Amino acid sequence: MNPFSIPGLDSLVRPGVPAGLVVLNVFAIQGETGTGFEKAGNLGEFECGNCLYFDATAGACNQADMKALSKQPRLADGRVMVAEEDCCEYVQRVGRPDKDDDHGR
């Protein structure tokens, strides 16, 4: 038995790819690297529209890490363009002080 193989992954081997190599489908990975940002979902209280960092008038996020790490389009002032239904790991929920500063965890 190969000590570097993971049982069940042999089904992921693709034609033309050497045995033992696994090809990941990067489109199956949810969230933007570093921010966990996801386009419109059905995430309830975790959506941007329920977040203190969200500016509904501008449709933008003003959270510092999102501004530093996100690859999403920007406004001229550097804020990340987001929709009310979008979400990221930095959600600070409006009206939920018991959940503030937990970065959506």
Closest CA to 5 of 21, 25, 18, 17: 21
Question: Could you tell me which residue, 12 or 88, shows the higher pLDDT?
Answer: 88
Q: Where are the alpha helices (DSSP H) in 1-105?
A: 64-69
Lowest mean pLDDT among 56-65, 79-88, 91-100: 91-100
- Domains of the chain: total: 1
Contact call for residues 82 and 72 (beta carbons, < 8 A): yes
Between CA 75 and CA 3 the distance in angstroms is 50
pLDDT of 3-60, one tens digit each?
A: 555 555 555 555 666 665 555 554 445 678 778 888 886 666 778 998 899 999 999 9
Residues of the domain holding 36: 1-105
Closest CA to 50 of 81, 90, 78: 90
pTM greater than 0.85: no
Contact call for residues 85 and 47 (beta carbons, < 8 A): yes
